[in-house]
């Protein structure tokens, strides 16, 4: 993910929130007040989802639009976070 200024980050975040399909995932746990869109760096992984019961990240429109390669963003963190761990 390329570096963005704060305005671009907010714009992308709003796009992610609108396109997000996290609530349809078998691993999803509704945690009141928590933002979905776990793939986005400023949102990051869930504080409530602890068990990986299946992942639909690969079929998410955000994955294709943003060129994401990883999965289980809800438990493993954003693409950026997971890429740091792979280094």
pLDDT at 16: 95
Closest by CA position to 22, among listed 40, 1, 4: 40
Residue with tokens 């793939």: 39
In a domain, 68, yes or no: yes
- Mean pLDDT of the chain, nearest integer: 92
Instruction: Work out the percent of the chain whose per-residue pLDDT is above 70.
Output: 95
- What's the average model confidence in pLDDT over 3-24? 92
- Domain count of the chain? 1
In a domain, 55, yes or no: yes
* Alpha carbon distance 28, 35 (integer Å): 12
pLDDT digits 0-9 by tens, 15-54: 999 999 999 999 999 998 899 999 999 999 999 999 999 9
In a domain, 1, yes or no: no
In a domain, 73, yes or no: yes
* pTM tops 0.75: yes
For 24-37, b/e burial (b = at least 16 CB within 10 A) is ebebbeeeeeebbb
Give the residue numbers spanning the domain of 81: 6-86
């Amino acid at each position: 993910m390329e570096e963005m200024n704060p305005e671009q980050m907010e714009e992308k975040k709003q796009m992610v929130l609108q396109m997000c399909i996290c609530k349809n995932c078998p691993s999803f746990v509704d945690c009141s007040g928590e933002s979905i869109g776990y793939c986005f760096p400023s949102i990051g992984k869930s504080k409530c989802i602890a068990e990986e019961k299946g992942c639909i990240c690969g079929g998410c429109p955000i994955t294709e639009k943003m060129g994401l390669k990883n999965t289980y963003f809800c438990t493993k963190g954003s693409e950026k976070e997971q890429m740091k761990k792979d280094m």
